[in-house]
């Protein structure tokens, strides 16, 4: 029988299981020394100034917006071409979601669209590195750094100190990706990573906040604010309480978004072999490209390798002349061949909840044009090059 090809199964090694069991046997299973170690390794890996591990990328973004003082009366600009988490967190902190379209022919947010949507109330922009390809960060910063533009910032706020809205990267797809030679985490002002089950590095559920070095900001203070919000505003975590006095203070009304040592153990193991993980994913990408490039109707993902290096998270393949109906038929055909392919993402204005907020997909024609003829192909560590050969062969049959 031929192998069933799944879209994104997790992949662990014996050493991962051993590390998890070690934590379970250690008597300390929630936030403790392994989380600290994972944070240190993550800072070291990306070059960010500070890292806080949390329970998800969603939690990371919600904490960041809160610490950045974003709330009612404020606006945050983000892309329609993302998962709902990127936008829902804006709503949850009480601010207004302002959607921007993607650049023509791109899955990433358009700097020009951001420019058109800036108002004095704009406090942050959330850019999403779709499929692990970094956004046009310099162009976005150029748009935000407008000396002639009158922003309405609270004195002493992070935005005031920067002289512009904060640039937050939703790097859920782009751990290890680089923009102009710098890894994500040290590119945007602040970054959120996801370690959800389907991402390049997974702790089942999990995420991280990273803050980039910036002489205008106290990074120490920002990350300790984030840490407070991640665990009920408690000035000592359970580990510190265990090691010291029972007394602690609640500094503010925070969330419950901390990571456990069990998750961190999984993260540490994968981060140590992450360069090899990226190499493997890159080889799968190259195999896809070898089969599909210069063949009709395929349009391969592309970016300027002098500026960006992706993390090979998803392989988005566009099909010239296809619409939703034909694309969906191709997905069914592949399923009949025991191959799962997917679509990332359904633009947010196509969902009920966003329609109810007044958004209309017709206002985002670039994003719709990207969505209607895209399929995402499996890229994961259980695949070998022969699997990619088979997937490509069936795709070529399928599009006929
Ligand atoms: C997966 C994903 C998220 C959410 O990550 P969680 O860790 O599940 O909160 C957010 N944004 C994008 C672009 C994602 O793909």
Render pLDDT for 20-40 as a digit per residue (tens, 0 to 9).
999 999 999 999 999 999 999
Say if ligand 1 is within 6 A of residue 192 CB.
no
Sheet holding 207-211, edge to edge: 50-54, 207-211, 190-194, 166-170, 122-128, 75-79, 96-100
DSSP reduced 3-state for 336 = helix
- Ligand 1 centroid – CA 386 distance (Å): 30
Question: What are the phi and psi torsion angles at 382 (to 5°)?
Answer: -90, 0
Say if ligand 1 is within 6 A of residue 78 CB.
no
Question: What are the phi and psi torsion angles at 152 (to 5°)?
Answer: -110, 85
What are 168's strand-pairing partners? 126, 190
Strand blocks (E) in 214-351: 298-299, 308-309, 315-319
For every residue of 285-304, DSSP letters joined together read HHHHHHHHTT-TTEE-----
Q: What is the pLDDT of residue 175?
A: 98
**What are the structure tokens assigned to 23, written together?**
């934590």
Q: DSSP state, 192?
A: E
Say if ligand 1 is within 6 A of residue 107 CB.
no
Please report the atom of ligand 1 found closest to the CA of residue 205: 7
Determine whether 334 is exposed, middle or buried from the number of CB atoms within 10 Å of its CB (0-12, 13-18, 19+).
buried
- Ligand 1 centroid – CA 398 distance (Å): 30
Q: What is the pLDDT of residue 243?
A: 82
Q: What is the pLDDT of residue 341?
A: 98
Spell out the residues 6+ positions from residue 63 whose beta carbon is closer than 8 angstroms to its own. 52, 54, 209, 226, 229, 230, 255, 257
pLDDT cut 90: percent of the chain above it: 95
Say if ligand 1 is within 6 A of residue 86 CB.
yes
Classify strands 207-211 and 190-194 as parallel, antiparallel or unpaired. antiparallel
- Ligand 1 centroid – CA 122 distance (Å): 23
Q: Please state, in angstroms and as integers, the Cα–Cα distance from residue 38 to each residue in 53, 283, 335, following that order.
A: 8, 27, 38
Say if ligand 1 is within 6 A of residue 134 CB.
no
- Ligand 1 centroid – CA 127 distance (Å): 13
DSSP reduced 3-state for 339 = strand
Say if ligand 1 is within 6 A of residue 209 CB.
no
Say if ligand 1 is within 6 A of residue 196 CB.
yes
Name the residue with the closest Cα to ligand 1, atom 5: 57
Whether residue 294 is predicted with pLDDT greater than 80 in this model: the reply is yes
CB atoms closer than 10 angstroms to residue 296: 9
Mean pLDDT (the chain) is: 97
Say if ligand 1 is within 6 A of residue 194 CB.
yes
Q: Are 388 and 284 in contact (CB under 8 A)?
A: yes
Angle at 378 between CA 372 and CA 382, to 5 degrees: 170
Q: Are 190 and 169 in contact (CB under 8 A)?
A: yes
Say if ligand 1 is within 6 A of residue 172 CB.
yes
Q: What is the pLDDT of residue 147?
A: 77
Pocket test for ligand 1, best of 8, 58, 129, 131 (most atoms within 8 A of CB): 58
- Ligand 1 centroid – CA 334 distance (Å): 26
Residue 264's pLDDT band (cuts 50, 70, 90): very high
d(CA 120, CA 199): 36
Say if ligand 1 is within 6 A of residue 46 CB.
no
Say if ligand 1 is within 6 A of residue 378 CB.
no
Pocket test for ligand 1, best of 7, 57, 129 (most atoms within 8 A of CB): 57
Q: DSSP state, 175?
A: T
Residue 204's pLDDT band (cuts 50, 70, 90): very high
Residue 209's pLDDT band (cuts 50, 70, 90): very high
pLDDT cut 70: percent of the chain above it: 100
Strand blocks (E) in 195-331: 207-211, 298-299, 308-309, 315-319
Write down the pTM of the prediction.
0.98
DSSP reduced 3-state for 62 = helix
Q: Of 89-103, 155-169, 227-241, 358-372, where does mean pLDDT reach its minimum?
A: 227-241
Please report the atom of ligand 1 found closest to the CA of residue 60: 9
Residue 253's pLDDT band (cuts 50, 70, 90): very high
What's the rounded mean pLDDT across residues 276-293?
98
């Amino acid at each position: 029988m031929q192998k069933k090809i799944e879209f994104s199964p997790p992949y662990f090694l014996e050493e991962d299981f051993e590390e998890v069991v070690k934590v379970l046997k250690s008597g300390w299973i929630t936030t403790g020394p392994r989380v600290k170690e994972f944070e240190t390794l993550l800072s070291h890996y990306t070059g960010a100034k500070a890292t806080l591990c949390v329970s998800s990328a969603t939690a990371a973004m919600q904490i960041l917006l809160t610490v950045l003082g974003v709330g009612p009366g404020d606006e945050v600009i983000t892309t329609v071409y993302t998962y709902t988490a990127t936008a829902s967190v804006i709503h949850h902190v009480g601010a207004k979601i302002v959607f921007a379209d993607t650049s023509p022919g791109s899955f990433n947010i358009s700097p020009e669209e951001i420019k058109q949507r800036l108002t004095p109330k704009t406090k942050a922009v959330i850019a999403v590195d779709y499929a692990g390809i970094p956004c046009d960060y310099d162009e976005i910063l150029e748009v935000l750094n407008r000396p002639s533009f009158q922003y309405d910032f609270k004195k002493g706020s992070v935005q005031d100190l920067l002289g512009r809205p904060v640039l937050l990267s939703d790097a859920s797809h782009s751990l290890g990706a680089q923009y102009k030679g710098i890894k994500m985490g040290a590119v945007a002002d602040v970054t959120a990573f996801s370690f959800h089950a389907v991402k390049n590095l997974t702790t089942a559920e999990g995420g991280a906040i990273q803050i980039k070095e910036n002489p205008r900001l106290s990074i120490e203070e920002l990350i300790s604010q984030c840490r407070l919000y991640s665990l009920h505003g408690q000035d000592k975590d359970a580990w510190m309480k265990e090691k010291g006095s029972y007394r602690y203070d609640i500094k503010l009304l925070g969330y419950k978004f901390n990571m456990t040592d069990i998750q961190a153990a999984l993260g540490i193991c994968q981060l140590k072999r992450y360069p090899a993980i990226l190499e493997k994913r890159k080889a799968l990408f190259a195999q896809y490209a070898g089969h599909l490039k210069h063949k009709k109707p395929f349009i391969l993902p592309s970016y300027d390798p002098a500026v960006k290096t992706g993390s090979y998270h998803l392989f988005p393949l566009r099909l010239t002349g296809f619409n939703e109906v034909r694309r969906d038929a191709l997905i069914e055909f592949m399923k009949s061949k025991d191959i799962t392919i997917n679509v990332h993402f359904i633009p947010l204005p196509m969902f009920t909840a966003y329609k109810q907020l007044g958004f209309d997909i017709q206002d985002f024609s670039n994003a719709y044009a990207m969505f209607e003829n895209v399929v995402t192909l499996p890229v994961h560590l259980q695949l070998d090059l022969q699997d990619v050969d088979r997937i490509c062969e069936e795709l070529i049959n399928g599009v006929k």
